[in-house]
Amino acid sequence: MESTALMITSTRLLVFLALLSSAAATLTRAEDCGVTVLYNGKIATMDQRDTMASSITIRGDRIVAVGTSPGIPKRDSCATLIDLMGRRAIPGLIDSHNHIVVVSLRPGRDVRLDITSSIDEVKQLLHQKAATLAPGSWITAVGGWSPPQFAEKRMPTLAELDAAAPGYPIYIQSGFDGPAATNTLGKTFFEKRRVKVGDDGTIDANAPTIAAYGALESMRTFADAKRGAMDVMAYAASLGPRCPTTRVGHGRSIRWVRRV
Question: How would residue 50 be classed by pLDDT, with cut points 50, 70 and 90?
Answer: confident
pLDDT of residue 93: 60
Write the DSSP symbol of residue 157: P
Burial of 195 (C-beta count, 10 Å sphere; 0-12/13-18/19+): buried
pLDDT value at 118 more than 70:
yes
pLDDT value at 186 more than 70:
yes
CB 116 within 8 A of CB 150: yes
Stretch (H or E) spanning 60: none
pLDDT value at 74 more than 70:
yes
> How far apart are alpha carbons 212 and 189 in whole angstroms?
9
Identify which has the larger pLDDT, 110 or 241: 110
- One-letter amino acid of 43: I
| Three-state DSSP class for residue 66 | strand
pLDDT value at 78 more than 90:
no
> How far apart are alpha carbons 108 and 96 in whole angstroms?
25
> How far apart are alpha carbons 29 and 48 in whole angstroms?
34
CATH of 31-91, one of 2.30.40.10, 2.40.128.260, 3.30.420.40, 3.40.50.300: 2.30.40.10
Write the DSSP symbol of residue 229: H
Q: Out of 47-61, 160-174, 178-192, 208-222, which region has the weakest mean confidence (pLDDT)?
A: 47-61
The residues near 157 (Cβ < 8 Å, ≥ 6 apart) are 181, 200, 201
CATH of 99-238, one of 3.30.420.40, 3.40.50.1100, 3.10.129.10, 3.10.310.70: 3.10.310.70
The residues near 137 (Cβ < 8 Å, ≥ 6 apart) are 108, 109, 130, 168
Question: What is the residue extent of each domain of the chain?
Answer: 31-91, 99-238
Question: How would residue 25 be classed by pLDDT, with cut points 50, 70 and 90?
Answer: very low
Interstrand relation of 42-44 and 62-67 (parallel, antiparallel or unpaired):
unpaired
